[in-house]
Amino acid sequence: MIRLSNGGTDVLVDVTTGAPTIVHWGASLGAEVDLASVLLSLSRPIVHGTVDSVAPVSTVPEHALGFTGRPGLLGRRGGGLAWAPQFSAVSHHLSSDSKRLSVDAIDAVAELGLNVTFLLDDVLHVWATLTNTGDRRYSVDELTITLPVAEHASELLSFEGRWSREFHPMRGDWSSGSLLAENRRGRTSHESPPMLFTGERGFDEWNGEVWGAHLAWSGNHTMLAERLADGRRYLQGGELLHPGEVVIEPGQTYTTPRVIAAYSPHGLNIATQAFHRSLRALPNHPSTPRPVLLNTWEAIYFQHDTDKLKSLADAAADLGIERFVLDDGWFGSRRDDTKGLGDWWVSDVVYPAGLTPLIAHVTNLGMDFGIWVEPEMVNPDSDVFRAHPDWVLATPGYEPVLGRQQLVLNLANSAAFGFIVGCLNRLLSDHDISYVKWDMNRDHVQGSNQKGAAGTHAQTTALYQLLDELRRLHPNVEFESCASGGARIDHEILKRTERVWTSDCNDALERQTIQRGASMLIPPEIMGAHIGPTRAHTTGRTQSLSFRAATAMFGHLGVEWNVTKLTDEERTVLKAVIAMHKEHRELLHSGNVVRFDTDPAYNAHGVYAADQSEGIVAFAQLTTASSLTPPPLRLPGLDHAATYRIDHLRIPGERWGPARVQPTWLVSGVELTGRQLAAHGVQPPTMHPESALLLKLTRV
């Protein structure tokens, strides 16, 4: 038995079971624990009506041992042989700091080797490598990682979505059966983000044991939560493979994506903060203040004009914006979304003098310049496709299904890969560009390579290679992961990007839920959050500027609005909001994200400094409620012995609801202990639907 520990969490691994088995993943058992006693105390009875041994819920469960759930490895050799391997332990190695464990096992009959690696830092990382030790190829249909969870974890929290409505929570009972989420869209997806939480009955943001798992992969995936008939429970995740996508030749290997997992003894906040710390520890994680940006998409769409863009830049700089991002429409024949995609050279029609005059104007105003690209895609009506129709990810002999009038460019084709590297390298070398918004607007449908074999796995790995190469060539350029909004948000793509576009929806009411869900996985500094126009592009709703601003405040702030057409009042308010964000962004982008449990009519969340010295909290009224007066907002998680001053952080233009007198503390402030804030909290004002209150907490 091997123990991994990070202080608050223990992971005990039995390395004798072939594929290693996690015997305990949860609360620390103390420094003096007898590891053998754990295994002894958890030995299971052999009951009537079953086989004569109890198959372990190992990290790669084996049908050959009698495991009745979904096996961790599905595959075969020719003729259907070696379809149910049974591994035997060979060796294991524990790092000197006891944080990393590597376990090797073999199946001499099936001629396969299996390595499973565990790494415990802020979170638990687990991945597996399968080696073909035989002299014939081995086809892998599935290789997933399984994490057993406690049998009292009887509720599940998963997420669903669609375009412009990502990360919506689904919570339900897990008394029996399974929940399976599969994604075949070729990207992480809007619909089924690879993230599951389970916990003891009644768990919430601050209470109850919670286990969470995320698959760090940007392509097809499968996520499963299953309760076996004998009561044992497990979470399982891995890459979803199309037939024939992974065939291991003799001596070759296949390595799974990492499953990243977090445990909390005290609710969801602690678990999700661990996910955030894991991302913040990455070498490429932003270490400088996140520039407030303006994205041109909802300001001009495809109506590119240098003079108008210069005026837009002038207005942006006057507002305090620090980065100007030129969106779709600057290249080739791209005047709308039907043509030109793939022709990555500056259009001499809309930019006869090139991009340099516009970039110089932007940088002379003191702003960075960013640009939009979609390198994985091509329009049939493009010079690239006409010259190289064989470069697309489509099945020969069939009419391909279009999406947004486009096809997928096969990056696993070396010629296509080299072409894209060359185009983007020239673009970034020839221009003063510091930021790239990398989009991906189409699902994979019957996506095959030139020979007709399924190509999503190879496309995903080629995407990583492409980003790695461009980052090597241009180490000072930042990249944003966008895929029709939030369809590519995962911890693997974030090894290569500094920001994600959370959603194409800038409607602040929708964003309240979208951003709360996304905060389960990513911290605010990489979560793109924009103040859009008064009338939302995706929903048609109109909302006050103060509500839009309060919603976007808790992210990497941007503006996606034609700011040359603001009223004087709008300009004054927006300028003040940007200044407020800059004043507080060090806290917003470094603190611990906290969420609070409320009635569905409200949403409450915020950020506490790591040392609990200060915080900013938002309380939003989303819809009408049964009472005109919201309940007091209780704020647990602060130092109980400390005293905090609570002040209203006012956004200009705020309007409250129907009340003759609002709570006095909104004007005078109030001082409360951390214990008081957790016990009785503060009373929000009467509020209209689609409005928000910001609070500043300061330890005195």
Q: If residue 198 lies in a helix (H) or strand (E), which one and from where to where?
A: strand 195-200
For residue 352 the two structure tokens come to 């006869």
For residue 432 the two structure tokens come to 């003063």
Comparing CA positions, the residue from 466, 482, 473 lying closest to residue 428 is 473
Q: If residue 468 lies in a helix (H) or strand (E), which one and from where to where?
A: helix 456-473
Q: Which residues of 62-87 are buried (b: 16+ CB within 10 A; e: fewer)?
A: bbbbebebbbbbbbbbeeeebbebbb
Cβ pair 46, 55 in contact under 8 A: no
For residue 545 the two structure tokens come to 């500027």
**Packing angle, helices 545-552 and 568-588, rounded to 10:** 20
Distances (CA, A) of 225 to 127, 181, 196, 656: 18, 9, 8, 44
Q: How many CA atoms lie within 13 A of 52 on its CB side?
A: 0
Cβ neighbours of 475 (radius 10 Å): 8
Comparing CA positions, the residue from 93, 146, 148, 95 lying closest to residue 120 is 95
In angstroms, rounded to a whole number, what is the distance separating the alpha carbons of residues 517 and 498? 19
Q: Which residues fall within 8 angstroms of residue 576, CB to CB, at 6 or more apart?
A: 651, 652
452 phi, psi to nearest 5 deg: 95, 5
Comparing CA positions, the residue from 156, 213, 276, 166 lying closest to residue 522 is 276
Cβ neighbours of 462 (radius 10 Å): 20
- Virtual torsion, Cα 564, 567, 572, 573, nearest 10 deg: -100
93 phi, psi to nearest 5 deg: -140, 130
Ranges of beta strands (E only) in 280-400 are 293-295, 323-326, 368-373, 377-378
For residue 91 the two structure tokens come to 């060796």
**Packing angle, helices 545-552 and 508-518, rounded to 10:** 10
- Virtual torsion, Cα 505, 508, 510, 516, nearest 10 deg: 110
Give the residue numbers annotated as catalytic, written as ranges: 439, 504
* Collapsed DSSP state (helix, strand, coil) of residue 30: coil
103 phi, psi to nearest 5 deg: -125, 130
Greatest distance between any 2 Cα atoms in the chain: 83
Comparing CA positions, the residue from 329, 371, 369 lying closest to residue 351 is 329
Q: If residue 508 lies in a helix (H) or strand (E), which one and from where to where?
A: helix 508-518
Q: If residue 574 lies in a helix (H) or strand (E), which one and from where to where?
A: helix 568-588
In angstroms, rounded to a whole number, what is the distance separating the alpha carbons of residues 403 and 405? 5
Cβ pair 321, 367 in contact under 8 A: yes
In angstroms, rounded to a whole number, what is the distance separating the alpha carbons of residues 71 and 104? 18
